[in-house]
A and B are shown apart, each in its own frame.
Chain A
Amino acid sequence: MKKLFLIAILFSTSQLYAQELFLFTEPASNMAKGNIGVRLNNMLMENAATNSYKYHLIPEVMIGVSRKVMVHADAFISDETNKFIAEGGSVYAKYRFFSIDGIHSHFRMATYARYSFNNAPVHDAAINLYGHNSGYEAGIVATKLINKVALSASSYFSHALDNDQNKFLYGDGNRNAINYTLSVGKLMLPKAYITYKQTNLNLMVEILGQTNLQTGSSYLDIAPAAQLIVDSKMRFDLGYRYAVVSNLYRQETQGFLIRLEYNFFNVF
């Protein structure tokens, strides 16, 4: 708890501009209309049951449909079953319904929803629609950008469906969970913006939690991350996520996220 307070203070006294392009959550802002982003998400998670690392490759396409709407499509490929195979996919949409902007600042709110399909065996009581469970989720996110700090908070409801032939193991009553996140980001470099060619370095910390609505069991993770933005169109993310509270069962409670992203402008 003390550690969290120190991190929060560190970010709130920063003198520099901030970014809100988080790793484990999406901000309330959308991509520009007509822009398309492609991502290669790589997750290397420590699997407690097998005492090895499991790898998830999640290619993703993001489309700026309009100034307020953005959609994503993902494919889930992993070696959870000891074979590196495609296990499912997901669609996601976000609608920005509120925005007050100022110079180098904004307060925005958006609502979003995801539907995922996955056919891999279910192990966890925790619900994860990003590479583990079939299901749907919907929620709300608010992002505040001020010169010095970028803060994002979200809350969403998840419901687990069966993973095709592989049933959700924990009983029908346990298929629902509430999730909550808090993210803070800060721009470290450059000290002053001169050209689009300058590489940006951002540091972020995210707090990610889930509580099962039936059992009341929870997990709470912290995810520090570093991000490089190159040529104002490419992004390299490196994050490490680990649990500080783990009462809601998961085989994998810690691991890395390595993401490569490239943005195409004005495609349509």
Chain B
Amino acid sequence: MKILLIAIATIFTFTASAQVTKVTIQATGLTCSMCSNAINKALKTLDFVDKVDANIQNSTFDVYFKPNKAVNFDQLRKKVEDAGFFVAGFTAIIHFNNVAITNDELIVINGTTYHFLNVQDQTLNGDQTVHIIDKGFVTAKQYKKNAGFTTMDCYKTGVVGDCCHKEGLIKGSRIYHVTI
């Protein structure tokens, strides 16, 4: 019986999954193509990045990833900032496989902790466009505006704290605040 329960639990763990297939970043503070090129080339140095399609006119960058490589949103943001600019928008196309989400609650998917805000409780299946709304992923103005979606402290800190009531989370580990 025990073995059967473990087997069922394992199957359910693997069926709830998500794969990031593409990220679109909008950068601020630039107009010229040489500035855009600095961001373009910086993003390409990340080992999990396969290809970058830059739209110089709109200051947006479509980033595609190598298969089976973990995507790190913070590292992408940091490359834009190290190039001398900032991120105004950050959307990720994530392929969800039967993931149940609840508004203003944490969920761990494929080792990444997400805190869904301003969403209807639902089960996600297929490709979804997810907006990262953490500090540094939206404009300062937008970040202040979104603060109303939760009272949890982790929105300000970006990491697991006393506010986060979920088993198995390590205090201080990264949480990405997202919306759909």
Contacts and interface: CB of A to CB of B under 8 A. Distances in A.
Count chain B CB atoms within 10 A of each CB in A19, A32, A104, A229 and give the residue with the most. A32
A187 interface: yes
Given A101-B29, A104-B30, A193-B57, A232 B84 contact: no
Nearest to B29: A101
Interface in A57-80: 64, 66-67
Interface in A167-201: 187, 192-196, 198, 200
Interface residues of A, number: 40
A193 B28 contact: no
A103 B87 CA distance: 10
Interface in A221-257: 229, 232-233, 235
A103 B26 contact: yes
Nearest to A103: B28
B34 A266 contact: no
A102 B83 CA distance: 16
Interface residues of B, number: 28
B45 interface: yes
B33 A200 contact: yes
Interface stretch (B35-43, B63-71, B111-119): B35-43
Contact of B31 (A33, A145, A198, A233): A145
Contacts of A235: 34
Is chain B's binding surface mostly helix, strand, loop or mixed? mixed
* Most chain B C-beta atoms within 10 Å of own C-beta, residue among A31, A67, A200: A67
A101 B31 contact: no
Interface centre among B39, B54, B81, B83 (most CB of A within 10 A): B83
Contacts of B33: 193, 196, 198, 200, 229, 232
B88 interface: yes
A72 to B, nearest CB: 16
A64 B83 CA distance: 9
Interface in B67-118: 81-86, 88
A266 B29 contact: no
Contact of B41 (A105, A147, A266): A266
B31 A30 contact: no
B82 A105 contact: no
B31 A32 contact: no
Interface hub of A17, A104, A145, A194 (most chain B Cβ within 10 A): A104
A105 B39 CA distance: 16
A92 B118 CA distance: 49
A32 B32 contact: no
Contacts of B31: 17-19, 104-105, 145, 147, 187
B159 interface: no
Given A67-B82, A229-B34, A106 B28 contact: yes
A29 interface: yes
Nearest to A264: B41
Nearest to A30: B84
A263 interface: yes
Contacts of A265: 37-38, 41-42
Contacts of B81: 67
Interface in B44-74: 45, 54, 56-57, 59
B38 A32 contact: yes
Contacts of B82: 32-34, 66-67
A255 B53 CA distance: 43
Interface of B: 26, 28-34, 36-42, 45, 54, 56-57, 59, 81-86, 88, 139
25 contacts: A19-B31, A29-B84, A34-B82, A67-B82, A67-B84, A102-B28, A102-B88, A103-B88, A104-B30, A105-B31, A145-B29, A145-B30, A193-B57, A196-B36, A198-B33, A200-B32, A229-B32, A232-B33, A232-B36, A232-B37, A233-B34, A235-B34, A265-B38, A265-B41, A266-B45
Interface of A: 17-19, 21, 29-35, 64, 66-67, 96, 99, 101-106, 108, 145, 147, 187, 192-196, 198, 200, 229, 232-233, 235, 263, 265-266
